[in-house]
Structure 1
Amino acid sequence: MFVPALLCNSGSDTMVSPASHPLLLTLLLLSHFTFCISYSRPKALLAPISYDESTSLYSINLGNKNSLLLDLENSVFWIDCVNTSYSSPTLSLVRCRSAVCNMASVCNSLICDGGAPPGCSTCYGPPSPVCQNSSCSPPISNSAISTSTTSTLWTDTFPVLSTDGRNPGSIVDVPNFPFACADDLLIRNNSVPAGVVGDAALSQAKIALPSQLAAKLSLKRKFTYCLPATSNGKGVLFFGDSPIVFLPNIDFSNSFQYTPLLTDPSQPDSYMIDITGISVDGVKLNIDLNLLKIKDGTGSTVGGTIITSTERYTQLESSIYDELAREFKAAAHARGIKDAPAVSPFDTCFDGSTVSGTRLGAAVPEIDLSLKGSGGVVWRIFGANSVVSVQDDKVVCLAFLRRKQYETRAVVVGTFQQQDALMQFDLATSRLGFLSSLLGSMATCSDFNFTSSV
């Protein structure tokens, strides 16, 4: 059970005069010191990540209790309180116009309330976990299906797993943690992996998991994840600041390149970066760089690059995709790789028998994303993250798609390009740290040691 750090304050009220009881003072100080060591706050928290092949989505397990969709775009942590019959002795309703409710304003790609606090619920039936009169009712979303709805905000104590960066530690109870109760609208029709009961809101919003965990446990306001490439192993999500150690004993915490996280005033909860150019095998693409800039002032979000956790393959504005595919084909042909007919949903495919393999994936042209940052920041995409094998490995396709019809960003970075990479979202310094592939170090995202150290 987590004990708040205020129990370890140096100034402790006591009815005993230390001056008149020196031996007692020594014993008190010794026991107090030992107590503080035993119950000090963790520096980091841990959650295993699972990949579901049927939905191409990722989920995390929070404190061995709740399986939640990994969602960078959602701002309010929510749980389906209908099918899960949610109940708890520490459950407390959040009233509208309260301080917690005022903090629950959200603005992402699916929802934007303009900074206004959520409204008050009015129920037209008997009270339930998903509807209570005069309660705080924030909007919630599921980015995987681009759907939102309203909810009822509560607080409760939630267990999370601590870590030293090498192994799992003890369970920590986080008190008075805000979350939303919802019906099953956002998880119907197999729209999330089996067993998922809610959404792990990982956006930049004040009420989202990263900021709330940091505030409740005095953690660094950052999180790092590593997405597994298959469903056979677990990836890992760290909250806070710690070593990042994978088997056999490789610490990747000092291996990051950094690029600023941009802020779009019309979508401040989301994670955006500045791509300044794209190259294939060293050849710079002739693209309209103005497309890569965030436009504002029109009321709609257009241009720029957003990072997602619910789209599988990176989407590109059509002219950018055409230029990438053209240059990738030319570079592939120069390597002796032959074309193959397109395989939906991919437009650019190759004969798998003409593609050899390396420890970094298929031996195909390298794609470089040049990013804003000091000293030249480059996200290099090797074969493991640039092409996908289909039709029993007979065909290899460029794992990029034209952007969806209603998508307004020029680039939407998908999870295929992030798998077996380290992605660190540092909210305190507004920067993204990344290591584009662990494969070059003979590691994968499934190499974290989940054997407990306690």
Structure 2
Amino acid sequence: MHEFMKPIKSSPTSSTSIINSMASQHYHELLLSTLLFLFISLSTQSHETLVFPVRKDPTTLQYITGIYQRTPLVPVKLLVDIGSGFMWVNCDNHYISSSYRPAQCNSKECALAESMTCNTCNGSPGPNCNNNTCGLFPENSIINLSTTGDVIDDVVLFRSIHGNFATVPHFLFSCGGNNLMEGLASGVDGAVGFGRTKIGIPTQLSSVFNIHPQFALCLSSSPSSNGFVFVGNGGNYKLAPGIDVSSSLMRTPLIINPVSTGGVSFEGETSSEYFIGVSSIKIDGKAVKINTTLLEIDDEGVGGTKISTVTPFTSVETSIYKSVTRVFIKAAEAKKMKSVAPVKPFKACFSSESIKSTRVGPDVPIIDLVFGSEDVYWRVFGANSMVEVKEKGVVCLGLVDGGLSPRTSIVIGGHQLENNFLEFDLATSVLRFSSSLLFRQTTCANFYFGAKP
């Protein structure tokens, strides 16, 4: 277990205010100034739940978080990619630190990273230019580009839901380069991966902080409000007004895809992404006729359903997409919804004036993703199924055609995840999930961070 320092507790009023400001325009300055007087050490037997504030970028629709890293500490904005197997940071962009350390080939750090390469470099020595250093393949999942990068460790700062801060002096990650910056939101300098690997965020922090290997995801739909990722022991997630969101969650197994879905992979490598066993789709209680073999993962790792924070809208294989859209439009007609011209990338669009509003968004046909047993389903209400587009007075079914032969048949995207609570338990390989929190008259922006009970 790595040694690490323990922070002091924040002032009574800073626990909520700091976390709500971290993803705002000035959160770096606020947090950095706070650190000047909030730093003490944390017991190595800590059972804290750690928290990553997440903000939706309005231009790219990407979900962004921030950490502090290096010596001296600097703020780093990162893309939230729950399926990526590790954190990577652009080391070409003025990465200056007195505490970084390359992982030497055949070391325990390289074994932990499951690296299959040993790198050399003929350029100027630096974080991403070392000899006899093992490597990984950081990937920009927005543009599906992978490159090689050294494995290094450095100081990273994390915070708990109770207002504490702690450092990990030897946090393992990979270096990326400037060529991986294309398509990322402004100011973003890498990605933070919560995938199921030994150096993914949940597993690595589980080892360091002696916490349960799990994380919970709750994305806000508003670019002006934080959502959160919680890592650790979980339970008692408090939402205003006094709601314990973890008290009534459905459960379904997390499925391991036996073939890696990463941009670069090796024989026998499993996927670090999170797949779930959707067995059928219903719209207003009526089963949609689809080729159910597409919902299964074959021996080549093709098919199935996965959850993604880097896909803005749920992507569906063409034949499933056509069937779902056809049944949805028919059900919409029964509700007197008026169809209008499609707006790319969507194909089923309607006049918003013909749709009533409800607590859970537009009053449109309900979509259920069913898991094996008919009693376990993920219910998608109008707030998550419909998208307001640039054309005034038009809303569209927020699904996109994923093509005839996609690697994964259904990719559940960010819009469908917003204001839903998902808890990924890596120890038991179980997903616990809510439907829309709007149904409970609350949102992912309303988490309460109080003192320890």
Scaled to the shorter chain, the TM-score interval is 0.7 to 0.9
Whether contact under 8 Å (2:47, 2:233) holds in the other structure is no
1:193 offset after TM fit, Å?
Answer: 1.7
1:371-450 equivalences in 2 (<5 Å): 371-372=371-372, 376-404=375-403, 407-449=406-448
- Cα deviation, residue 182, structure 1: 2.2
Identity %: 34
Amino acid at match of 1:309: T
Q: Which moved more, 1:57-66 or 1:47-56?
A: 57-66
Return the letter of the residue paired with 1:274. Answer: G
Corresponding residue SS for 2:415 = coil
Tell me, yes or no, if the aligned pair for 1:174 and 1:217 is still in contact at 8 Å. no
Q: Give the partner amino acid of 1:397.
A: C
**What is the DSSP-based 3-state SS (H/G/I as helix, E as strand, rest coil) of the residue aligned with 1:220?**
coil
Contact 2:50–2:232 (Cα < 8 Å) also in 1: yes
Report the alpha carbon displacement of residue 39 of structure 1 after superposing the two structures with TM: 7.2
Uncovered stretches (5+) of structure 1, i.e. residues with no partner? 5-34, 106-116
Equivalent-residue separation in structure 1 for 2:62 and 2:148 (angstroms): 23
Question: In the alignment, is residue 203 of structure 1 matched against residue 195 of structure 2?
Answer: yes
User: How far apart are residue 181 of structure 1 and its match?
Assistant: 2.1
- Quote the Cα distance in structure 1 between the aligned partners of 2:43 and 2:88: 32
Find the aligned partners of 1:123 and 1:85 in 2 and give their Cα distance.
17
Counterpart of 1:197 in 2: which secondary structure? strand
AA aligned to 1:330 is K
Per the alignment, do residues 406 and 80 of structure 1 end up closer, same or farther by CA in structure 2, a change over 3 Å counting?
Answer: farther
Mark the CA change 1:453 to 1:145 in structure 2 (over 3 Å): closer, same or farther: farther
The reply on whether 1:102 has 2:79 as its aligned counterpart is: no
Which of 86, 90, 99 is the matching residue for 1:76?
Answer: 86
TM-score under structure 2 length normalisation:
0.84
* Match for residue 87 of structure 1 among 73, 84, 97: 97
Deviations 1:184-241 (A, max 9, x none): 22113xx112222221011111111111001111110000011110201000110012
Structure 1: which amino acid aligns with 2:50?
L
Tell me the SS of whatever aligns to 2:377: strand
Question: Given that residues 346 and 397 in structure 2 are in contact (C-alpha distance below 8 angstroms), is that contact kept between their aligned partners in structure 1?
Answer: yes
Change (3 A) 1:418 1:36: closer
d(CA) in 2 for partners of 1:37, 1:145: 39
Secondary structure in 2 matching 1:62: strand
- CA distance, structure 2, for counterparts of residue 439 and residue 304 of structure 1: 28
Match of 1:272 in 2: 275
The Cα of 1:126 is off from its aligned counterpart by 2.0
- 8 Å contact from structure 1 (residues 46, 239) kept in 2: yes
State the partner residue of 2:133: 135
Query: 1: distance between equivalents of 2:333 and 2:422?
Result: 32
Whether contact under 8 Å (2:280, 2:292) holds in the other structure is yes
- Find out whether 1:60 has 2:80 as its counterpart: no
What aligned pairs does 1:316-327 form with structure 2 within 5 A after superposition? 316-327=316-327
Change (3 A) 1:442 1:418: same
Amino acid at match of 2:91: C
Structure index of larger Rg: 1
Provide closer, same or farther for how the CA distance between residues 125 and 366 of structure 1 changes in structure 2, counting only shifts above 3 A: same
TM norm structure 1 = 0.84
Gaps spanning 5+ residues in structure 2: where?
7-39, 69-73, 261-269
Count the aligned residue pairs: 402
Deviation at 1:423? 1.3
Distance 1:248 1:227 in 2: 18
1:49 corresponding residue in structure 2:
54
2:148/2:176 contact within 8 Å kept: yes
| Contact 1:73 1:143 (C-alpha < 8 Å) held by counterparts | no
Structure 1 runs (4+) deviating above 3 angstroms are: 1-4, 35-40, 449-454
Q: Against the structure 1 CA distance between its residues 118 and 433, is the aligned structure 2 distance closer, same or farther, given a 3 Å change threshold?
A: same
Alignment match of 2:158 (pick from 157, 160, 164): 160
Deviations 1:54-80 (A, max 9, x none): 111001122593221100222121111
SS at match of 2:211: coil
Distance 2:157 2:381 in 1: 38
1:258 is matched with 251
Report the counterpart of residue 304 of structure 1 in structure 2.
Answer: 304
**Match of residue 184 from structure 1:** 178
Match of 1:223 in 2: 215
1:380 and 1:393 map into 2 onto residues whose CA distance is 27
Secondary structure in structure 1 of the residue aligned to 2:414: coil
Q: Distance between the aligned counterparts of 1:129 and 1:377, measured in 2?
A: 47
Amino acid at match of 2:152: W
Q: Deviations over 1:276-331 (max 9, x none)?
A: 110000111111111101101xxx43111111110111111111111111111111
* Cα distance in 2 for residues equivalent to 1:62 and 1:259: 31
Q: Could you tell me how far 1:350 is from its partner in structure 2?
A: 1.1
Q: Distance in 2 between matches of 1:77 and 1:389?
A: 33
What is the deviation of 1:451?
7.9
Deviation at 1:40, TM superposition (A): 4.9
Q: Aligned to 1:439, what secondary structure does the other structure show?
A: helix
In structure 2, how many angstroms separate the alpha carbons of the residues matched to 1:59 and 1:70? 6
What SS is found at the alignment partner of 1:253?
A: helix
Query: Which amino acid in 2 is paired with 1:422?
Result: F
Q: Distance in 2 between matches of 1:42 and 1:172?
A: 12
Name the SS for the 1:436 alignment partner.
strand
- Residue type of the alignment partner of 2:58: E
Q: For 1:281, which of 280, 284, 289 is the aligned residue?
A: 284
Local SS of the residue matching 1:261? strand
Find the counterpart in structure 1 of residue 315 from structure 2: 315
CA RMSD, 1 decimal? 2.3
Q: Give the AA of the match of 1:281.
A: D
The one-letter code sitting in structure 1 at the alignment partner of 2:294 is: L
